[in-house]
Each structure stands twice: as C-alpha cells, then as structure tokens.
Amino acid sequence: MKNFSLMRISIWVYLALFFSYLLGPLVIMSVTAFNSPGFPRAAPWECLTFEWFSALFQDERILNGIKNSILVGVGTVTLSVSMGLAGALMLTQIWPKLRATYYTIIIAPILIPGVVIGISTLVFWDRVNRMFGLDADSFLSNGLFLTIIGQSTFIASYCMLVLVARLQRYDTGLTEAALDLGATHAQAFRKVLLPFMRPAIASAAVLAFLASFENYNTTTFTFGEYPTLTIELAQKVRYGITPAISALAFIIVLLTVFAALFNEAHIRRKELVAAARKSATVEELGSGNFRLPGFLSSNTAAVVLVVVAMMTIAVVGSATVYSPQQCIADVKEQKRMETEVRIQELRQRRADEAARRAAEQADQAEQEPAVEAAPKPSNNSGFGGVFAPGALQDDGADASEEEPEKPGNDSGFGSVFDPNALQSE
Amino acid sequence: MPQFLKEYFNRNGIGLGSVMLGLVLFWTVGLIIMPQLSMLDFSFRPNLPPPEIGGPKDLYTLENYKYLIFGPEGGSQDYNAVDLRVFYRTLIAAVLVTIFNLMLCYPIAYYLAQTKGNHIRVLALMLIIPYWINEILRAFALRIIFGETGILNNVLVGMGVFDTPFDFIRNDIALYAGLGYAYILLMIFPIYNVIESLDRNQIEAARDMGASWPRIHWRVVIPYAKPGISSGCTMVFMLSAGALAAPQILGGPSSLWFTQLIYQQFNDNSDWPQGAAYAVVLLVTCILLVLALMRLFKVNMGDIGK
C-alpha cells in the first residue's frame, strides 16, 4: 500500500513537471505582455501596462499579415478539404492492388519536411510558368496562389485522415438506396453522403485553417508579396523582440482557451441533455416540457468559460481607464537613482585605482594623473557625460540614460544591473 | 475506356466521378509527385540566370551535390567541413530530440490512456491548447525564458547556481528544449491511441503472475504500443530535422540547422539548384534513416499515420 501511494505521488509530480514545461512558457509569455519594460520579461515586475496592446493594434504589418493569413486560410481550407474528401472517397474505391501505393503517396506529405514542400512547390510552378511563357508576375507565381497550393499539399493529407475515419462508418447501402429510388449521383452525394460527413468536414476545416494559420516552413518559401501573420511574426522575432508580440500571443492564447472551453461546455451540455432525456418520463417527453438542465449546472467547463469571460471583460474595462504613466515615471526615477549610485561607486573605484596607480608611477610620469583627473570635474556637470567612460568600457554598447536595460547591451550592462534590479523587487 | 474506369463512372456518375478524379489527380500528381520530381531534376542543373534556362548551358551536372561534400572548387579544404558538420549535427540532434520526447511522453500517454476519470479530459485539453498556439510564438515564449535576462537565469542566479547568467541560447539548450516542446503532442497522440486499445486485463494478468512494473512495460505494453511509438518517433524525427522556425529563433548565432543552409541558398545566395540539392539530400537521408529504423524494430509502413 505504501508503495502504491509513493507511485501516486511520483505520478503527480511527473504530471506537474510535464505540464509546467508545456504551459509555463505560455503563462510567462502572457505575463510579459503586461509588464512595462521594452524587453519582454516577467521579472522584475515594473508596471502594469496595456500599451503593448495598443502598439500591436497600430502595427500595419501585423494587421496586414492577419488579413493575408485569413485569405490564405480560406483558400487552403476550400482546396484541402475538397481534395481530402475526394482522396478519402477514392481510397475506398481504388483497385486493391494499388491501394497501398496510393495510400503511401497521399500520406507522404505529412512526413516530408515543410521546407522541402515549399521548395518543390516554388520550383515546380516556376517551371510551369516558364513552360507557358508567362511573365514573372503572372498568376502562377503569385504569392497567394503558391502559398495556398503549397500548404494544401500536406494539409489535405490531414483532412483526408480525419475524413477517412468517419467514412469508414458510412454504410454504402444508403447511397445505393438513394440511387435505386431515382436520385442522381449528385443528389445522392449532396443529400445522403454530405450530411453524414458534415461533422468530420467541419473538424477537418477547423484543423486545416489552424494548420494553415500557423504554418511557417512552407510559407516562408512561397509567400512572395503576401506575408502571412506567421511570416511577419518570425521576422519580428528574429530582428528584435518586443512585448507587443507577447500581447498578440496573449490574445491568441485567450482565444484558444475560449474556443476549447466553449467546445468542452458544448459537449458536456449535449451529454447532460441526453441524460435528462433518458431519465425523463414519457409524459414529460410527449408534452415537450421536460426540464432541460441549465447551461451552467454541473458543467465545469461552462462555469470556467463564464469566469474567464468575466475576467476578460474586467481587464478590458480597466485597461480603458487605467494609466500607468505615474508608475512608469516612478520606476524611471528609481532606476536613475540606482544608476547614479552605481556610477558613483564606479567612479570612486576608478578614482581609487587611479590614485593607487598614480602613487605607484608618481616618479615616472607626473602629468598622467593630471590628465586623468582633468576630465572628471567636467563630468560632474552632465549625467550622461559621466556615463560615457563606462559605456566605452562595455564594448561601446549604446546605453542611454533612460533605458539602462535595453536588450542591446546585455553583453555588459544587463549583467551589471541584474543584481541591482533583483534588489529593487 | 478501360473496364475499371467504366465501373468507376458507373458507380459515381459522370459529373461527380470526374470532379473526384480530377481533384485526386491534381493532388497526387500536380501537388505531390510532380513538384518532388521537378525539385530532383532541378537539383542536377547549374545555377543559370533566367534567360539561359533551357539553353545550351543547361546540362545535367553533379556540381550541386559535389559542393555539399567537397566544398567550392579549388577550396582550401578537401571536404566541405562546415556544411557537412551542420548536416551531421542536425541529424544527431533530431535523433536526440526524438529520444528525449519519447521518454518524456511515454509515461504521460500511458497514464492518460489507462486512467479513467474526469480530470483526464482536463489534462487532454491542457495538452491540446499549447499545440494551437503559433509555432513562432511558442519559440518566442521559450526565448523569453531562456534569454540572458530571462526568468530562468534570474532564478538560477538568485538561487546561487550560477554566478553570472548562463547563455542557454549560445549553448543550444534553448534550441533543443524548443524542438522538444514543439512536437510533444505528435509523440503523445499516436502512443495514446494505441495504448488506449490495450486490454487492461493483460496488464492485470502480468501483475498477477508476479511481474514488476518495469517488466510489465517492457514485455506487455511496449511491444503492444510499438506501432504508435514508431509513428510518433517518425513524425517527431522528420519534423525536427526539417524544422526551420525554432532554429532561426532559438539557435545560437554560430550554430546552424541544415534547413537554415537551404533557406540561405534560396533567399540569400539565390542559388536555387544548390538549395534544391540540399533539400533532396535532407529528404532522402531522413527517409532512409526512418526506413532503416523501422526495419530494425520490425514495424510496417502501414502502421504509420494510424
């Protein structure tokens, strides 16, 4: 028994570690969206701010990227769901000897690296373009077209897998019955098969859209004039990161959580309704007024959903009235003071050193201490001037007075100020 | 018209049948087979300016593959040490990431599949949510954590583990963590699917016979879950060897991933044939490695993707 409880504990510890690896980064990233320093960080906490959200919504490139992503997404969903459906239907009908080969071919794009798919799409359509003797800016080398084609190559395989799973439970007798009763093939397809496949088609479409939205490897070769949101994000992240990206991530995380909770609540509610229907008496069912369970009753997901929604509304509401200017000014002032103290120390140390050196070399060169001493009084007048020798020492990092913790100088000053920053917490 | 085509159109009708056939042919031939062949063909051609393509200079050559192995012609070294090392390192690292993911995910998949209860749904939900966050943003989140002034360094320095911040990015720790992080779900789901169908009585029987937990896993669960494990490993290996976003964001400045070389050939050097040759090498090597491992562990191709 003791052994058993030990195992339980270790399982829970393992689960906790695993999920903190999985969710911790997202939580920390979300937190950085509300912290005021220009470099995304969760600690030290400075000021609660919403400015990164407004910075995000003023960013032309991000907005343009979202627009392109939606365009590409719609095209990819249409193309890959229809190709996936056709592929799945074909799988049930194809000549048995060919089936294994055919399955390997349509499943292969999942395993081919996205980079390879992007390159092959680019190369192939470039060649087709040239074969037709079209210009370099024709329809076939258009970024939108290439991206949709490239993404659909492998997203259709995902769709096919989802659709095949549902198609396996389809009774082909239904189609035959419809045909016997005089329906045309198109009618039998539209009125019998399609309604049966609808749930799978819906989930395939959602899957396809999300896969298209977050794709980077393929799109990075094909996007041309239509950078999607993911491409824009990657370029921003590679050339300097700001908390505005965290803000975007926070919005996406929130939307995902909403969607997941909503889906969960919906499923749970269906189960509850089914259970209530089962336990209701015949009279209640007949009269149609049996008691349906409330949306929130014994539905944890729905409760959480409502709580999250309220919290979001509260945060957005407070964001419109809250101004962090005072706090930011305070922190700036505090940092300035800290910097000054540090510089004073530095100068003291340097003065000591200079004095010692001067004492050692007093007989060698008499004008040297004079030279070193001369610039110092002039430094006292301007704060930035005092800073200059320090900045020069730290491999010329461009440290300005206001932002001593800019990411650019993490080589020198980041570490110098780190312990200090921790103290202030 | 051949017999099977006639049958096919009888079964599906002319209109619907040709739409279906058209879509499938477009997908398999136009999107999958032709582009790959075209890339293969392209990789054997010299890098020419557009007007000269198809001209007398456009002959097949092994130049692009020679470049990967021997480096630029007349170079000082016998072998293209830089690119080959990147290639080798990418493969080794992808294998390590796969093994790390397998060890991390097997217990979770087993736990999720063999435990009943409401909290399992919550855990599954928590697994799926990070997967729908953009790949770039996930890498970005790890970069915030592993940065020089990131939270991990703050904690470690604060606890006195290190005196100065440790550079996780330059040491590639951030990269490996990011790659492992990105593909956790692809490892868990196939294993979960297989273990879920394992009859619990088999485990109980083994336990009644006196087998210890490690032995039960080794002799009962793992042999049963082999198709799931191999399909998870295949996907994680292929995806991490072909990853581009994580190495670009989390990789150290001096260390490259092989896909980054391909990217450079295409975008910075605009040497498309060279890039295509590198892509072919990557694809073929990965497929051969996967096939060899599947032969070694006696798994069939048909089990993949289930």
Other beta carbons within 10 angstroms of residue B17's beta carbon come to 18
Crossing angle (nearest 10°) for helices B173-182 and B135-146 = 150
Higher pLDDT, B92 or B147: B92
Output the pLDDT for position A367: 53
pTM of the model: 0.77
What is the span of the domain harbouring residue B110?
Answer: 62-303
Residue type, A204: A
| Number of Cβ pairs < 8 A linking chain A and chain B | 263
Question: Which range in A133-142, A198-207, B195-204 is most confidently predicted, on average pLDDT?
Answer: A198-207
Tell whether B199 is covered by a domain. Answer: yes
Give the number of domains in chain B.
1
Q: Does B181 touch chain A (CB under 8 A)?
A: yes
Task: Give the model's confidence band at A43: pLDDT under 50 very low, under 70 low, under 90 confident, else very high.
Answer: low
Is residue B134 one of the residues assigned to a domain? Answer: yes
Structural domain includes residue B123: yes
Q: How far apart are CA B98 and CA A108, in angstroms?
A: 19
Give yes or no for residue B163 having a pLDDT over 80: no
End-to-end CA distance of chain B: 36
pLDDT over 80 at A4, yes or no: no
Answer yes or no: is pLDDT of A76 > 90.
Answer: yes
- Among A94-98, B148-152, B177-181, B271-275, where is mean pLDDT lowest? B148-152
Predicted local confidence at residue B56, as pLDDT: 66
pLDDT exceeds 60 at position A404: no
**Interface ipTM > 0.95:** no
Does any domain span residue B260?
A: yes
Written as one string, the DSSP assignment of chain B is --HHHHHHHHHH-HHHHHHHHHHHHIIIIIIIIHHHHHHHHHTTS----GGGTTSTT----SHHHHHHHH-STT-SSSS-HHHHHHHHHHHHHHHHHHHHHHHHHHHHHHHHHH--SHHHHHHHHHHHHHHTS-HHHHHHHHHHHHSTTSHHHHHHHHHTS-SS---TTTTTHHHHHHHHHHTHHHHHHHHHHHHHTS-HHHHHHHHHTT--HHHHIIIIIHHHHHHHHHHHHHHHHHHHHT--HHHHHHS-SS---HHHHHHHHHHTS--HHHHHHHHHHHHHHHHHHHHHHHHHTT--GGGTT-
Please check whether residue B12 lies inside any domain of the structure.
no
Give pLDDT, residue A81: 93
Tell me whether residue B156 is in a domain.
Answer: yes
For A220-237, what is the mean pLDDT?
85
Q: Which of A86, A210, A300 sits opposite B23 (nearest CB)?
A: A86
- Considering just the CA atoms, what is the radius of gyration of chain B in Å? 24
Per-residue pLDDT tens digits for A282-311: 666 666 665 666 666 667 777 777 888 888
The answer to whether residue B262 scores a pLDDT higher than 80 is yes
Domains contained in chain A, CATH given = 41-240 (1.10.3720.10), 244-323 (no CATH), 325-424 (no CATH)
CA–chain centroid gap for A48, Å, is 22
Interchain pair A156, B27: CB under 8 A = yes
Mean pLDDT, chain A, rounded, equals 76
**Least confident among A23-37, A76-90, A366-380:** A366-380
Mean of pLDDT over chain B: 81
Kindly report the CATH number assigned to the domain that includes residue B236: 1.10.3720.10
| CA distances from residue A303 to A203, A299, A373, B139 in whole angstroms, order as listed | 24, 6, 70, 32
d(CA A227, CA A143): 8
- pLDDT bucket at A281, cuts 50 / 70 / 90: low
The string of pLDDT tens digits covering residues A302-351 is 777 788 888 878 777 776 666 666 777 777 778 788 888 888 888 888 88
- A 234-263 near B (Cβ less than 8 A): 234, 237-238, 241, 245-246, 248-249, 252-253, 256-257, 260
- What's the pLDDT band for A366 if we cut at 50, 70, 90? low
Of A103, A119, A418, the CB nearest to B266: A119
Residue B54 pLDDT greater than 80, yes or no: no
Chain B interface includes A191 (CB < 8 A): no
B24-36 mean pLDDT = 89
Nearest to B150 among A21, A41, A189 (CB): A41
In a domain, B22, yes or no: no
Q: What is the arithmetic mean of pLDDT over A258-274?
A: 82
Residues B88-97, mean pLDDT to the nearest whole number: 88
pLDDT at B24 over 80: yes
Largest CA distance in chain A: 117
| Domain assignment present for B124 | yes
pLDDT > 90 fraction of chain B, expressed in percent and rounded: 1
CB contact at 8 A, B278 and A118: no
Q: How many CA atoms lie within 13 A of A231 on its CB side?
A: 23
A105 with B157: Cβ contact below 8 A: no
C-beta of residue B104 within 8 angstroms of C-beta of residue B180: yes
pLDDT of residue B89: 86
Q: For residue A372, is pLDDT > 80?
A: no
Q: Dump pLDDT digits (tens) for B101-144.
A: 999 888 888 888 888 777 777 788 888 888 778 888 888 888 88
The whole-number pLDDT of residue B76 equals: 64
